[in-house]
C-alpha cells in the first residue's frame, strides 16, 4: 500500500462530483478496519472489568425485551402478528436500539469540558485542571 500525497487546492472539491465521491468512498473503505479495531478495543476495555463481563452487552436488551411479551399477553399493548416470533422480534429491536443509543452516547464521557473545581478554598475558586 503506497501513501498518496495529499494535494490541497482552492478549487471546490464538488466541481467534479465523480472524483469527489470516488475519493470519499476510498477514504471510507480505508477507515473501516481502524474503526472496527477502535470499536472492539473500546468494548473490551469497558466490559473487561465488569462483574459479568460481556454478558452486560445483552442483559439490558434481554431484560427489556422480556417485558414485551408479558405486556402483549396481558393485552396492555396490542401488536399485530409478525413474521418471526414476537419475543425474538422484541429482542432484535431492543438490541438494535441499544446499539444505536450506545453509539451516540459512548463518545460523550470522553469529551469532558474544562471546568473549575467545585470546592472553594479561602473564598476563591481553585485553579482548573486543564
**Domain carrying residue 40:** 16-50
pLDDT tens digit at each of 130 positions of the chain: 677 787 777 878 788 888 889 988 988 888 888 888 888 887 777 666 666 666 777 788 888 888 888 888 888 888 788 788 888 888 888 888 888 887 787 766 554 554 445 444 444 444 444 4
Residue 75 domain flag = yes
Q: For the chain, how many structural domains are there in total? A: 2
pLDDT digits (tens, 9 = 90+) for 99-121: 888 778 776 655 455 444 544 44
DSSP labels, 24-83: HHHHHHHHHHHHHHHHHHHHHHHHHSSSSGGGGGTHHHHHHHHHHHHHHHTTSS-----S
Same domain, 29 and 65: no
Amino acid at each position: 500500500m503506497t501513501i498518496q500525497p495529499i494535494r490541497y487546492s482552492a478549487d471546490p472539491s464538488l466541481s467534479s462530483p465523480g472524483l469527489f465521491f470516488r475519493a470519499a468512498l476510498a477514504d471510507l473503505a480505508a477507515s473501516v478496519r481502524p474503526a472496527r479495531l477502535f470499536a472492539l478495543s473500546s468494548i473490551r476495555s469497558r466490559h473487561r472489568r465488569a462483574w459479568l463481563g460481556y454478558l452486560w452487552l445483552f442483559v439490558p436488551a434481554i431484560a427489556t425485551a422480556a417485558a414485551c411479551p408479558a405486556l402483549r399477553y396481558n393485552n396492555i399493548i396490542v401488536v399485530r402478528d409478525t413474521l418471526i416470533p414476537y419475543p425474538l422480534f422484541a429482542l432484535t429491536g431492543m438490541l438494535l436500539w441499544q446499539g444505536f443509543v450506545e453509539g451516540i452516547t459512548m463518545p460523550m464521557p470522553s469529551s469532558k469540558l474544562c471546568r473549575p473545581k467545585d470546592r472553594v478554598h479561602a473564598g476563591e475558586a481553585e485553579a482548573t485542571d486543564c
